[in-house]
Structure 1
């Protein structure tokens, strides 16, 4: 049972109730986020944008999200994003390597290693070392780097939200949320 109570959905503003009702799957994270009713719509839009097609490769994005979840102890995000990562081309071997914090494992490409190292530094030290950023710049455009930073920050926030409130774990929703964004 969550530490922080979920809101009474019926008492939320109509826009929030409608957004929750139209979600592709009723996840506890959405219900918890609805406690901050004025932030709910902007947060879900940002999350949806991060999961929508961007210039940043979806597989790379998902590997990075898993890295954030690993570092932050974000069990909720890990459970939800493993199936998404696999669906966009990540291998189980890569998921397992991230779980072991083995970011130099041979299952990762050079760009994936650079992005995982970058993620580790951003999460743990706020900013990545200049050498790490320069290494990533060999592979990614400025746009992709900024999209990556925004994904890292968003999922740091979601991990803090779900872990601090003790949001009840949902079974993996698979790709339902991401699939709904493609429509």
Structure 2
């Protein structure tokens, strides 16, 4: 469920590099292209399972508001233990930080196969 949450944070944070990198990672274990496309629509999409929809609702709530809303916590509680919810919240928060860092310094997407590092534009 983490690989639906991380690119969703990228989308909600308007961070194309984060989306690109984590959509690519999600393809590794075989996430269907329909799900990757549906990440932009979030939990409203029929492409996701109930646990994935709960993860997306929780992610949306954590990104949108502090504290996250009761609906997101209730949805996540159906599928995640309290410890897993804490870990998910930390993951989403870290992802938000990463998105803000990437966008603040105008870090660009690497060409395919390039892993030598990126040049900051700012």
Scaled by the length of structure 1, what TM-score is found? Answer: 0.58
Unaligned runs of 5+ in 2: 116-122
Structure 1 unaligned blocks of 5 or more: 1-59, 177-183
Change (3 A) 1:172 1:134: farther
C-alpha RMSD of the superposition: 1.7
Larger radius of gyration: 1
- The reply on whether 1:116 has 2:56 as its aligned counterpart is yes
Kindly state the Cα deviation for residue 103 of structure 1 after the two structures are TM-superposed.
2.2
Query: CA separation in 1, counterparts of 2:18 and 2:72?
Result: 25
Aligned match of 1:77 in 18, 23, 41?
Answer: 18
Of structures 1 and 2, the one with the larger relative CO (CA 8 A, separation 6+) is: 1
Match of 1:166 among 86, 100, 106: 106
1:92 aligns with 2:29: no
Runs of 4 or more off by more than 2 Å in structure 1? none
Partner Cα separation in structure 2 for residue 78 and residue 105 of structure 1: 18
Aligned residues: 114
Q: Offset of 1:105 from its aligned partner?
A: 1.4
| TM-score under structure 2 length normalisation | 0.84
Is the Cα–Cα contact under 8 Å of residues 83 and 172 in structure 1 kept in the other structure?
no
